[in-house]
Amino acid sequence: MAVRGAPAVADRDLWAKYPFLPGAESLIADYSPSLGELIAGPAYARARELGRIRVRAAADDPTGTAALTELDRADPDERFLSFMYARLLLSVASTTAPGRRWSVAEARRAAERLDEVTERLPMEFTAVARLLGFPVEPSTGGYRLTLADYLRLSAGLREPEFRLVHQRLARGEVEVSAGRAARLLQEGIRVRLSTSLPADLAPEVRNRLQAAELDFLRDLAQRVPMPMQRRGVMVLRAEYFPPCIRKMRRMLEKGENLAHSGRFALAAFLHRSGADFDTIVDAYRGAPDFDESISRYQVEHITQRDGGRGYEPPTCETLRSQGLCFREGDPAAPNAVDRARDALCFEPVLVRPTLYYRLRGGAAVERPAAEAAAGGAAPGPTPSRSGGPG
């Protein structure tokens, strides 16, 4: 695929490998075909197909560990343009969840390449870091970066080894191993990608793309599973969930990242409220980094403690200290009930979200065994598919 006025091969290779870099964006503006050509031009059919492959692979495997041989075999221009096309597709998707998965998967793939070059091609690694806005310097133990950059990059990481107390600090800089430096940049790439979506598209481009990719976008919506209410013996009354739990569920449904403390609180709450194992796992399916086996392991760990009683859900005070109490109402909530301030949350007697649920009359409803076995409709209030009030 010929691209007019292309810069030096080395730069083009770098941008094809790391198409999220600011330099690559300028290449898009100067040398890429028009959006109309990319969306419909026969010369770009292969780039479009590779773009769809990128998005589909991320939807199916947000960990980004599956091999993408077609992409690996493509030439640098095709890889670069397929990245552009993937961004366009995600910008017209019906929800943000596929875009968040794609950000995780693409960042993971990029980090694998970065991990390889940390020692073999340190110049490439430092160039990528600098262009991302997080300059690093090779050091005897790996790489050095400023404390401020370290804190920015590690803020979203849940791995304990990235806590500041475990790092080597000297003169305002943090020294990390080559592997950790690659992991930190992976997080920087993920944030950069997720905040770059959706792309600002003109209405006519958006309409044209949606029409051209109707089948693909429908398929994509089905590939990113959302939380669902399982037909279990117990039926939850999600309309009686407290504001904090409703907000946490909505965040996951929208594919937003929920802090580890929030994920724990949600699983412990659902378990104590009568949700079955699979219903709890389902609540996490919208998470950008959802992994079936890891989620099952973690939910099992939380729910099997004390002979199945499970961990005690956190108190309101703990949730408040973690920034997870939403009793003032959620201005972004889709309905007036959620947006409103909830008086019960201000009662001194209320110490836990589980108590809120009980006081609102939300004790789990047991379905007749025969009906549960037959998979029929649940008695009493039937939760929405998402389980949330909206």
Q: State the residues that interact with ligand SF4 by CB under 6 A.
A: 242-244, 316, 319, 325-327, 345, 350, 353, 356
Crossing angle, helix 9-17 and helix 22-31, to 10 degrees?
A: 110
- φ, ψ for residue 382, nearest 5 deg: -100, 120
- Sign, CA torsion 374/376/381/385: positive
Query: Hey, which bits of the chain come out as E strands?
Result: 137-139, 142-146, 168-170, 173-176, 234-235, 365-366
Distance CA 262, CA 256 (A): 12
Q: Work out how close the CB of 265 gets to ligand SF4 at its nearest, in angstroms, rounded to a whole number.
A: 9
Sign of CA dihedral 96, 106, 226, 264: negative
- CB-nearer residue toward ligand SF4: 228 or 359: 359
Q: How far apart are CA 24 and CA 159, in angstroms?
A: 30
Q: Which residues pair with 284 in a beta bridge?
A: none
Please report how close the Cβ of residue 275 comes to ligand SF4 at its closest, in angstroms. Answer: 17
Between 130 and 260, whose beta carbon lies closer to ligand SF4? 260
Instruction: Give least dist CB 351 to ligand SF4, A.
Output: 8
Minimum Å gap between C-beta 362 and ligand SF4 is 12
| 243 vs 388 by CB, closer to ligand SF4 | 243
Residue 281 CB, shortest distance to ligand SF4, in Å, is 22
> For residue 53, which of 39, 40, 66, 43 has the smallest C-alpha distance?
66
CB of 326 to ligand SF4, least distance (A): 5
Nearer to ligand SF4, 158 or 341 (CB): 341
Of 97 and 238, which has the nearer Cβ to ligand SF4?
A: 238
Q: Which two tokens stand for residue 39?
A: 């969306």
Nearer to ligand SF4, 79 or 352 (CB): 352
CB of 239 to ligand SF4, least distance (A): 15
Q: Extract the tokens encoding 360.
A: 């609102």
| Shorter beta-carbon distance to ligand SF4: residue 62 or 314 | 314
Rounded-to-integer distance, Cα 112 and Cα 179, Å: 10
Residue 280 CB, nearest approach to ligand SF4 (Å): 18
**Residue 129 or 325 with smaller CB distance to ligand SF4:** 325
Q: In angstroms, rounded to a whole number, what is the distance separating the alpha carbons of residues 27 and 79?
A: 13
The tokens describing 34, both together, are: 């028009």
Query: Are residues 153 and 133 in contact, defined by beta-carbon separation less than 8 angstroms?
Result: no
